[in-house]
Structure 1
Amino acid sequence: MGSFVDKIIAKKGHLIHKLKAKDSTGRWAYYFVLVEQAREQAFLAALESNQSIDLLDYGKVVASNYGEEPSDEVKAMLKEKYNFDV
């Protein structure tokens, strides 16, 4: 496993939200967002609003790729860095 930050993220897997959404250019993308508990309710409410949101306002994007599913590269990186199975 990598850096100190990576080790912290690895322990917070329960706070990682997986979502498929269109980015600001209208392309489908798949995101893995670390949202701390204090921001989680606001994040979920923002998602339900169907408005455009900036994911960075709510947490840290730990991985993303274009497409409607996580890519093999993203899956491998999440497994290697954080021991997450996607």
Structure 2
Amino acid sequence: MAQEAPDISQLSFEDALRALEDVVRRLESGEVPLDESIDLYERGEALRLHCQKRLDAAQARIEKIVAGPDGAARGVTPFDPEGRAGG
């Protein structure tokens, strides 16, 4: 019998992302029976939505931090992986 999957709502972003990667790997292998593939797809979608929710919450927290002391937004600067100052 298959091991019971953990409740997605209790997973950290990193654990949910790892679980999603595992689902994708299993689906791409082509070795999974149709019924299990459907179940995996549904779980994968739930994991994707959970990850997106966690990312949205993180973005909202960052935008709140970027707000000035008076609560007014000072603007959002796009992320620059090169570390250059915004123009």
Which of the two has greater strand per residue? Answer: 1
Q: Please state which band the TM-score falls in when normalised by the shorter chain.
A: under 0.3
TM-score, normalised to structure 2, is: 0.25
TM-score, normalised to structure 1, is: 0.26
Larger Rg: 2
Which of the two has greater helix per residue? Answer: 2
